[in-house]
Amino acid sequence: MPISEQRLDIENIGNATVARFLDRKILDETNIELVGRELFALVDSDRRTEIILDFDLVEYLSSAALGKLITMHKKVSTAGGKLLLCNIHKDILEVFQLTRLDQVLTLCTTLDDALAKM
C-alpha cells in the first residue's frame, strides 16, 4: 500500500466537514501518523472547525490512535469549533468508556445524529 494513500474520505455537508475513516484497522504506527496528519490538516491548513469523524468502517483502533483523537479534540476546541464522533462499533465504544474518553469527546450514534448536533 503506498504511503501517500489517503486514510480519510472528506465530505462537506452543510457547515460540517465529515471525515470517514477508510481503514478497518487503525493499528500500526505508520497508518496512525498518516491519519493524524490528515485530521490535523483539516484544522491547521483548511481552517475547518465543525468536524464529524465517521467510524462506520473501523473495527479496530489502537491506543496510540486514541492519542490522535485527543489532540484533534484540543485543536478543534482551541479553534472555537466542534468535534463529534459517530458510527462507533461496540468494541471501540467500550474502549472509549473504559478510558473515559466518552466524557471528553462527543459521541453520536449515527451521522444524522451528529449532523443534528452541529
**pLDDT tens figures, 17-51:** 999 999 999 999 999 999 999 999 999 999 999 99
Partner residues linked to 83 by β-bridges? 51
Are residues 31 and 23 in contact, defined by beta-carbon separation less than 8 angstroms?
yes
Cα(3)–Cα(82) distance, integer angstroms: 29
Number of structural domains, the chain? Answer: 1
Under a CB-based contact definition with an 8 Å cutoff, are residues 86 and 114 in contact?
Answer: yes
Low-confidence ranges of the chain (pLDDT < 50): 1-3
84: CATH:
3.30.750.24
Average pLDDT, the chain: 94
For residue 5, what pLDDT is reported?
Answer: 79
User: Which cell numbers hold the place of 88?
Assistant: 462507533
Q: What is the structure's pLDDT at 4?
A: 55
Give the phi and the psi of residue 76 in degrees, each rounded to 5: -65, -45
Range of the domain at 109: 8-117
